[in-house]
Amino acid sequence: MQSFIYKSAPTRVIFGSGTVSQLAAEMELLSVRRALFLSTPEQAGDAEAIAATVGDRDIGIYSNATMHTPVEVTDDAMTTVTACNADVVVAIGGGSTIGLSKAIALRTDLPQIVLPTSYAGSEMTAIIGQTEGGRKTTQTTPRVQPEVVIYDVDLTMSLPPAMAGTSGINAIAHAVEALYAQDRNPVISLMAEEAVRALAEALPRIVADPGAVDPRGGALYGAWLCGMCLGSTGAALHHKICHVLGGSFGMPHAETHTVMLPHVTAYNAPAAPEAMASLSRALGSPDPARALFDLAGAVGARRSLRELGLTLDAAVEAGRLTFENAYWNPRPLDAEALESMMRRAWAGEPPKP
């Protein structure tokens, strides 16, 4: 029998098609009227279109959200928050925009409404990662847990298939680590297995038929479950090493997770047999690490750190930095094994235990 503690996330979730139309009503429920909309520069048009649906509740748009949530970008955004006298932030986008929303909430305690346009999953967590001086740090605090998340499959239809693939595998990483997390529990394990199944089924179908709604809906459903996993359990080697690669070496977030996930899964496989059994069922393969590597290939993702622009020396250094930071992992960290893993990930070789 497994002993465990389970706590449900307090976020209100609205899921479906056309649900963006409920934004104004959700603002009414929160008793807020002065919304600052957030986006990346690329999604500024989407933010403007959605802001127009709430009438005089729209007081401004800040469209410079940046990957890995640099502190200097948050400093800049805070001038707009103050100037607008916002009483709620509305984030439209993926991990970069959600990260900025959380950083603002951390400083101001303003409520957040999030409309995800990717499969990042961070919208369902009380975790925030910020980068300062080339180093990414994370913390968990209820101050950054969004109050409302509106999942609208229509907002994901324009996500290019290649980006959908890496964003989806990034989401799968949350579920994989939840299956062997130190604080795992049966409820989250069920969610994690279902999440991996849903995304692994949906992502190749999105690539094959980008305009089909059902696969997009299946992927968004799986991403929501992955976000629940991320918000309910602790991280281990995979997320730690990706934070090092992102914060210290400027590597792209979802693409880096996509490259590293098969290799870290293989590293931890000998120490996490129950997790591997769940992944085998979800992926339909006796070798989950190889199945994840093949899934990345099936969605057309790059499968090596070299293709993402990292040098071999930097990949080895990232492994060393990860080894130096003590934290729990199902398989104890071994410097030599980590270096071998990083060399394979850099070269794009299939994963090995």
Do 161-347 and 12-156 have the same topology in CATH?
A: no
What are the tens digits of pLDDT across the range 137-169? 889 999 999 999 999 999 999 999 999 999 999
- Give the 3-state secondary structure of residue 91: strand
155 or 56, greater pLDDT:
155
Q: Which of 173, 319, 82, 81 is nearest to 90 (CA)?
A: 81
Residue 23 has pLDDT above 90, yes or no: yes
Confidence of residue 134 (pLDDT cuts 50, 70, 90): confident
Q: Which of 125, 124, 232, 236 is nearest to 177 (CA)?
A: 236
Sign of CA dihedral 154, 8, 138, 64: positive
Mean local confidence (pLDDT), 203-214: 97
Structure tokens that stand for 27 in this block:
């603002």
pLDDT of 59: 86
Structure tokens that stand for 85 in this block:
């006298």
**Other beta carbons within 10 Å of 313:** 9
- Taking the C-alpha atoms of residue 34 and residue 81, their distance in angstroms, rounded to an integer, is 10
Residue 3 has pLDDT above 80, yes or no: no
Q: Delimit the domains of the chain by residue range.
A: 12-156, 161-347
pLDDT of 177: 97
Residue 244 has pLDDT above 80, yes or no: yes
Share of the chain above pLDDT 90, in %: 87
pLDDT of 199: 98
| Angle (nearest 5°) at CA 191 between 215 and 338 | 95
Confidence of residue 247 (pLDDT cuts 50, 70, 90): confident
pLDDT of 5: 75
If one looks up domain 161-347 in CATH, what number appears?
1.20.1090.10
CA dihedral 102, 106, 109, 111 (to 10 degrees): 10
Structure tokens that stand for 122 in this block:
């961070």
Residue 336 has pLDDT above 70, yes or no: yes
- Taking the C-alpha atoms of residue 175 and residue 303, their distance in angstroms, rounded to an integer, is 20
pLDDT of 327: 82
Mean local confidence (pLDDT), 228-232: 92
Share of the chain above pLDDT 70, in %: 100
What are the tens digits of pLDDT across the range 298-314? 999 999 999 999 999 99
55 or 80, greater pLDDT:
80
Find out whether 61 and 34 touch, Cβ atoms under 8 Å: no
Find out whether 2 and 186 touch, Cβ atoms under 8 Å: yes
Structure tokens that stand for 8 in this block:
């449900």
For domain 12-156, which CATH number applies: 3.40.50.1970, 3.90.600.10, 3.40.50.720, 3.20.20.70? 3.40.50.1970
**Residues pairing with 152 in the sheet:** 16
Structure tokens that stand for 247 in this block:
């914060």
| Mean predicted lDDT score pLDDT of the chain | 94
**Residues pairing with 130 in the sheet:** 137
Q: Residue 134's Cα: distance from chain center in Å?
A: 20
Residue 1 has pLDDT above 70, yes or no: no
- Taking the C-alpha atoms of residue 160 and residue 170, their distance in angstroms, rounded to an integer, is 15
pLDDT of 124: 94
- Give the 3-state secondary structure of residue 328: coil
Residue 8 has pLDDT above 90, yes or no: no
